[in-house]
Amino acid sequence: EAQVTQNPRYLITVTGKKLTVTCSQNMNHEYMSWYRQDPGLGLRQIYYSMNVEVTDKGDVPEGYKVSRKEKRNFPLILESPSPNQTSLYFCASSLGGWEKNIQYFGAGTRLSVL
């Protein structure tokens, strides 16, 4: 089954404790992206990747890191989480650029930073 898998689905942590949210897709997609969803703000892009070892900042990259060492994986790293990073996070992938291909989303990771 074609899918984007995020782990964990729920995470509670404390300020300053490094964490990683994993994302994996089994569709051989080139494009992958991370979004955060906050009430009244919609989905905001954090980082995106157009291929292995190619990443770029989205609209809200501060406080986040990403890496794309393999085509299927695109982890999101919070080196020192803060309470303002409490949010619902989505990973997404598409075959090519967003303007040409359907973007598939994972089920989401709800993060709480205390």
Partner 1 sequence: GENVEQHPSTLSVQEGDSAVIKCTYSDSASNYFPWYKQELGKGPQLIIDIRSNVGEKKDQRIAVTLNKTAKHFSLHITETQPEDSAVYFCAGAGGTSYGKLTFGQGTILTVHP
Binding site for partner 1 (CB under 8 A): 4, 31, 33, 35, 40-45, 48, 50, 56, 58-59, 90, 92, 97-100, 102-103, 105-108
Q: In the 8-state DSSP scheme, what is residue 73?
A: B
Nearest residue (CB) to partner 1, 55 versus 85: 55
- Taking the complex as a whole, the smallest distance from the CB of residue 23 to partner 1 amounts, in Å, to 11
Nearest residue (CB) to partner 1, 38 versus 79: 38
Residue 60, CB half-sphere, CA atoms under 13 Å: how many? 14
Q: At a CB cut-off of 8 Å and minimum separation 6, what does 28 contact? A: 71, 72
Q: Rounded to 10 degrees, what is the CA torsion of 13, 15, 18, 21?
A: 50
Nearest residue (CB) to partner 1, 69 versus 100: 100
- Taking the complex as a whole, the smallest distance from the CB of residue 68 to partner 1 amounts, in Å, to 13
